[in-house]
Amino acid sequence: MIDICRHLVSGLDLQEPETYAACFEILGDADIIPETSVETFKSMARYRNLIIHGYDGVEDTITFGIFKKHLGGFRTYIGYIRQYLRSNST
């Protein structure tokens, strides 16, 4: 998700994000993803950072539960990006 976000922001010459979470705000401001989903995607990016940088304090069962419960968020994001690309391809 983050890589796709950063590629879009760069390719569209949008504002440079200061954080991974901010990247989703930029896509929301550009109407690439709906504002109603920005906070969800920002939370996903923040949890990714927690896992990467604080993995000693992260419980596997909590992480598994989050992924199991929120896997649809990844599919939703992919759908928004596909929709944007289809509507803006020439």
For residue 68, the one-letter residue type is K
Q: Mean pLDDT per segment of 10 residues, for the chain of length 90 residues?
A: 95 94 96 95 86 75 80 93 90
Distance CA 15, CA 23 (A): 9
Helix axes 2-11, 20-29, angle to 10 degrees: 50
Give the per-residue pLDDT at 71.
Answer: 85
Give burial (CB, 10 Å; 0-12/13-18/19+) of 54: exposed
Rg (CA), the chain: 14
pLDDT of residue 26: 97
User: Residues 14-19: contacts with CB within 8 Å, 24+ apart?
Assistant: 19/45
Both tokens of 83, joined, read 């929709």
Single pTM value for the model: 0.83
